[in-house]
Structure 1
Amino acid sequence: MLSKLIKYDLKAVSPVLLTIHGAVLILSLLGHFFMSLLHIKPFDTIFSSIYTVTLLTAIGAVALATIVYLGMRYHRNLYTDEGYLTNTLPVTANCHVLSKYLCGVLWSFLDAAVILLCVFIFLNDELFEFCQAVSAYIPANLFLLTIATVILELFISCLSVYCAVGIGNLFHGHRVMGCIGGYVLLYLINQVIGLILAFPFFTNETIRNAESADANSPEVLYEVSQILGRILILSLILSIIIGIIYYIVCVKLLDKKLEMD
């Protein structure tokens, strides 16, 4: 049954998401083609600058639209009249949430892949220069931890939206505002917890004396990279815990709704 639910969810969300991602990919290809034809770079002329800003805005809008659309689908399929029919299926709340989660994770990764591809196509030279500059200062272990943090964020980003939707539907008559408020609340709680846990690292003697020390000295750079590495490891652990909590809350809230129905 889970496989059928996943196929149904993918079939429901994919047409819209494929369309908007395909559109931004075409914009990137067209921009790269014309700028290569005219032998100009993204910010060389007024036209190229406007096109670049427009494209980057479109990429950001697509990323936002993806997560919002997944949240809307979660709400409509489980908490509206459509959800009433869905919930009559002989499927547990856990199975419903797991199906939506796997669908959301898949599209989160596809969204990230398309965004990276668009940026690479359109800003390949600038991206290469940026990576070279970053690699000169960031150790390999810190870079890998950063990548791991980003990947983990893709795994839990849709869960935070689903959890906010579940919380928002507790407020009958103000569900949209409840969803938005729930998402903001979850975000603030995560940030506060992260800052509290990371604060001890920022009281380190090396950080406090960074302004008076030679920032480019190997000793300072090594110590700072070690501190940042510990913070990223802490962030990874915290994200895993938060993701598990989000999932449990989503299942419990849907269970509560099923009992009420």
Structure 2
Amino acid sequence: MLKKLYKYDWKSVSMILLILHGVLLAYSIIGRLAITIGENMASGRGENFDTHLSLSTTIFGLGAVAYIMIYAIFIIGIVLATILYLAVRMQKSLFSEEGYLTNTLPVSCDKILWSKILVFWTWSIIDFLCVALSIFILVSYPDTMTDIVEGFHSFFGSLFGLGGFNAMLEALGVVLGLLIQYFFYFIALILFSICLGSLFKTHKTLGALVAFFGINMGQTIVMLILMFIIPPLSPISTIVTTESGRVISSTGGSGNAQTIFLLSWYLILSIVFYLGSRYIMTKKLNLD
């Protein structure tokens, strides 16, 4: 039944998102073609070459600046629009008029929630791949490929231990932390905030927004307090020196300890948010 729910949720959100990401890729291809045309014009030869080249270069430069500005705004907008649209669709399918149908289906609450989460995961991955492909289309030229390959080689070298064990742990910690923070904590927080917003008699969307930002700010404050009061996690290093200035001891948080703490912190919060969403859906469901 989870597979059927997933297919239904996928179809309900994918049309608009496919169009948005298709436009992004088309915009990238247009930019790539424009850059190629501009390079051909700059390398061309003909009468009044200097005058034409100067004018063409000026126009091309102004157009390139405008294109890059619009492109940067477009990418940010696509990413935010994807998250916002998925969150809105999640809220409507669970607690609006459509929620009456969703919550009367002969399936468990867990399957309903996981269907939403899996669709969110799927489109988050597609969104990342489309943005990465879009950027690659614009920057992949014979002159830049060497730098791109070296960048990937350096990253994966650190990730798989070619740069040393400590570098590998740091790279793995960063990557794993980002994955857990987005795919577990962030999405679970969105789901939980939507469920909390449904408990409001009016202004449910506003209630969900307040819950999202309030919880996120609150957990950040608590996390920072814990990191400062627990010595192994403290980001502040204390160095003790003798009268001659020689260092005899130093204390400060371990990078590995901080990484483990942050990973555990976000995983625990993700579980708490999911269980909280499940509790509201089963015990405090409000479709008014």
TM class, shorter-chain normalised? 0.7 to 0.9
Match of 2:227 in 1: 198
Shift of 1:243: 1.1
CA deviations over 1:174-198 (Å, ceiling 9, x no partner): 1121011011012102321332233
CA distance in 1, matches of 2:173, 2:133: 22
| Alpha-carbon distance in structure 1 between the residues aligned to 2:207 and 2:196 | 7
Q: Structure 2 vs 1, CA of residues 195 and 33 (structure 1 numbering), >3 Å: closer, same or farther?
A: farther
CA offsets, 1:67-121, max 9 Å, x none?
A: 1111111111110111112211111222111111111111111112222222222
Once residues 80 and 45 of structure 1 are traced to their aligned partners in structure 2, the CA distance between those partners, rounded to angstroms, is 50
Task: Give the superposition deviation at 1:32.
Answer: 2.1
Once the two structures are TM-superposed, the CA of residue 123 in structure 1 deviates from its matched residue by 3.6
Any conservation in 2 of the 1:105–1:154 contact (CA below 8 Å)? no
1:39-188 map, 5 Å: 39=39, 45-124=61-140, 125=144, 128=148, 131=151, 139-156=167-184, 157-188=186-217
Matched, 1:189 2:229: no
Give the TM-score, by structure 2 length. Answer: 0.74
What is the aligned-residue RMSD (CA, Å)? 3.2
Mapped to 2, the partners of 1:160 and 1:87 lie a distance apart of 21
Q: Secondary structure at the match of 1:45?
A: helix
* Alignment CA distance shift 1:94-1:231 (3 Å): same
| Preserved CA contact (<8 Å) 1:70 1:158 | no
Which structure has the larger Rg? 2
The equivalent residue for 1:218 is none
Displacement of 1:246 in angstroms is 1.5
How many residues are treated as equivalent by the alignment? 243
Q: Which has the higher contact order (CA 8 A, sep 6+)?
A: 1
Shift of the 153–25 alpha-carbon distance from structure 1 to 2, 3 Å rule, reads farther
Distance 1:233 1:80 in 2: 39
Match of 1:247 among 274, 280, 284: 274
> Are 1:233 and 2:260 an aligned pair?
yes
Point out where structure 1 has 5 or more consecutive residues left out of the alignment.
Answer: 209-222
Identity of aligned residues (%): 27
- 1:252 Cα shift? 1.1
Structure 2: distance between partners of 1:49 and 1:112: 24
Contact 2:95 2:287 in 1 (8 A): no
TM-score computed with the length of structure 1 as normaliser? 0.81
